[in-house]
């Protein structure tokens, strides 16, 4: 079924490529790049993003098996790392030639058993180690048992060993981060000493590349940076916004003094005003906290504050001082400053603002 929602998210491919190249220039030429396209490529469209980046990066990463399947079904042939696979999905993961992150003995042993049963040969697996984030991962004390298991099978091959930095964006946590990196180096060395091949190593995320580029090992993972956000204002200014959310004016109303707008009569007109109704709401990803003039949109190059509460499918904005008509284009956001403002009002971060964009919103490349 075609998506006829007039609210559209345009993905700027020139901005996306600019951001990728910005991070590339921080790296050695031989360092591989893994593009993170989980969560619909941060609220956009993982298939569109992956197709554009396929010949520009070495790896993709998704959170779950179904996300990887969507890329394979779209014809993506680049290696895909599944960051959080579940045991019940392992056979499906193999069927689609996806590569699992094995982070505990339970899933590690389950995959080895399946690999032995189905007679896989050197199937690529990834091992994640916990160095301080305390989310997923083996401990360094697990290495001897892991190595013992690996020596008993030819059905799998360790494609990469990796970890995740907990506070790479916060220079006040530099000591903690450097300790994580040092611990990871120790872990990697144990594998290099005991395997007859050298897996890819990676620990750096976007902020890690910015602050700790010397720890790039063989590969880095770029997520939010691809979509226009660094770990501080200065870095973000070097990047370009990729997400542009637009809509149109559905209807214009003349509101008399004392009349109210929206649910719970949250806005009361102090004088005669003109309001415009726009078909985008909290079901499309706009926080309800943006209501009552805390948020705004741009219409004909002027700010139009949101009045009343944000509805599920609509917002109303004050266009009293804006020359506009029904059908005119509305910019919900088209730059990092607007996205950051939305995040600040909602007391969250740009990650959540972007990933909250509903899948009913049409996605296009520009």
pLDDT at residue number 231: 84
Q: Which residues, 6+ apart, have CB-to-CB distance to 237 below 8 Å?
A: none
pLDDT at residue number 160: 98
Which of these, 140, 172, 207, lies nearest to 350 by C-alpha position? 207
CA distances (Å), origin 114, targets 87, 106, 158, 232? 10, 12, 16, 45
pLDDT at residue number 5: 80
Domains of the chain: 13-238 (3.20.20.10), 243-365 (2.40.37.10)
Residue 338 predicted with pLDDT over 90: yes
Q: So which residues are the catalytic ones?
A: 38, 263
pLDDT at residue number 4: 63
State the Cα–Cα distance between residues 7 and 4, nearest whole angstrom: 9
Tens-digit pLDDT profile for residues 96-150: 999 999 999 999 999 999 999 999 999 999 999 999 999 999 999 999 999 999 9
Tens-digit pLDDT profile for residues 254-273: 999 999 999 999 999 999 99
Which of these, 279, 289, 284, 272, lies nearest to 357 by C-alpha position? 284
Q: Measure the CA dihedral 215/350/232/229, to 10°.
A: 60
Helix segments in the chain, DSSP class H: 13-24, 38-43, 46-53, 65-73, 90-95, 105-117, 143-151, 174-194, 206-211, 233-238, 336-345, 350-355
Describe the chain by its helix, strand, coil percentages, rounded to 5.
35, 25, 40
**Quick one: what percent of the chain has pLDDT higher than 90?**
98
Cα dihedral across residues 188, 193, 198, 199: positive or negative: negative
CB 213 within 8 Å of CB 235: no
pTM for the predicted model, two decimal places: 0.94
How sure is the predictor about 58, in pLDDT bands with cuts at 50, 70 and 90? very high
CB 263 within 8 Å of CB 306: no
Q: Which residues, 6+ apart, have CB-to-CB distance to 2 below 8 Å?
A: none
pLDDT at residue number 2: 54
State the Cα–Cα distance between residues 343 and 328, nearest whole angstrom: 26
Tens-digit pLDDT profile for residues 163-218: 999 999 999 999 999 999 999 999 999 999 999 999 999 999 999 999 999 999 99
CA distances (Å), origin 145, targets 59, 141, 198? 28, 9, 18
Q: What average pLDDT score do residues 315-342 get?
A: 98
Q: Taking all residues of the chain, what is their mean pLDDT, rounded to a whole number?
A: 96
State the Cα–Cα distance between residues 319 and 306, nearest whole angstrom: 10
Residue 1 predicted with pLDDT over 50: no
State the Cα–Cα distance between residues 141 and 240, nearest whole angstrom: 43
pLDDT at residue number 146: 98
Residues in the chain: 366
Tens-digit pLDDT profile for residues 211-255: 999 999 999 999 999 999 998 899 999 999 999 999 999 999 999
Q: What average pLDDT score do residues 320-328 get?
A: 97
**Quick one: what percent of the chain has pLDDT higher than 70?**
99
Q: What is the DSSP string of 144-210?
A: HHHHHHHHT-SSEEEEEEE---SSTT-GGGHHHHHHHHHHHHHHHHHHHHHSSS--EEE---HHHHH
Tens-digit pLDDT profile for residues 71-86: 999 999 999 999 999 9
Tens-digit pLDDT profile for residues 27-45: 999 999 999 999 999 999 9
Structure token pair of residue 275: 């309001």
Structure token pair of residue 280: 């985008």
């Amino acid at each position: 079924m075609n998506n006829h929602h007039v609210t559209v998210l345009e993905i700027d491919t020139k901005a996306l490529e600019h951001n990728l190249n910005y991070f590339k220039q921080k790296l050695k030429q031989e360092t591989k790049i893994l593009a993170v396209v989980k969560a619909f490529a941060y609220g956009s469209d993982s298939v569109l993003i992956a197709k554009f980046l396929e010949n520009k990066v070495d790896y993709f990463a998704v959170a779950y098996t179904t996300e990887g399947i969507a890329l394979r079904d779209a014809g993506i042939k680049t290696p895909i790392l599944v960051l959080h696979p579940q045991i019940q999905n392992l056979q499906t993961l193999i069927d689609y030639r996806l590569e699992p992150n094995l982070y505990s003995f339970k899933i590690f042993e389950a995959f080895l058993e399946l690999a032995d049963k189905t007679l896989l040969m050197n199937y690529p697996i990834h091992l994640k180690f916990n160095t301080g984030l305390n989310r997923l991962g083996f401990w360094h004390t697990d290495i001897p048992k892991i190595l013992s298991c690996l020596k008993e099978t030819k059905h799998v091959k360790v494609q990469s060993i990796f970890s995740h930095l907990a506070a790479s964006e916060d220079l006040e946590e530099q000591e903690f981060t450097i300790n994580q990196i040092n611990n990871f180096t120790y872990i990697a060395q144990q594998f290099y000493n005991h395997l007859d091949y050298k897996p890819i190593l990676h620990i750096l995320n976007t902020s890690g590349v910015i602050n700790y580029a010397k720890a790039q090992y063989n590969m880095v993972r770029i997520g939010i940076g691809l979509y226009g956000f660094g770990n501080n204002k200065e870095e973000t200014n070097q990047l370009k916004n990729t997400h542009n959310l637009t809509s149109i004016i559905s209807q214009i109303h003349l509101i008399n003094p004392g009349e109210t707008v929206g649910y719970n009569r949250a806005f009361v007109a102090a004088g005669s005003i003109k309001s415009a109704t726009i078909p985008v709401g909290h079901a499309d990803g706009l926080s309800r906290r943006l209501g009552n003039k805390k948020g705004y949109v741009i219409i004909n190059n002027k700010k139009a504050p949101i009045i009343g509460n944000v509805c599920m499918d609509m917002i109303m904005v004050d266009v009293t001082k804006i020359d506009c008509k029904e059908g005119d284009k509305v910019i919900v956001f088209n730059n990092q400053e607007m996205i950051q403002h939305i995040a600040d009002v909602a007391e969250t971060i740009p990650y959540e603002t972007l990933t909250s964009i509903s899948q009913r919103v049409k996605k296009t490349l520009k």
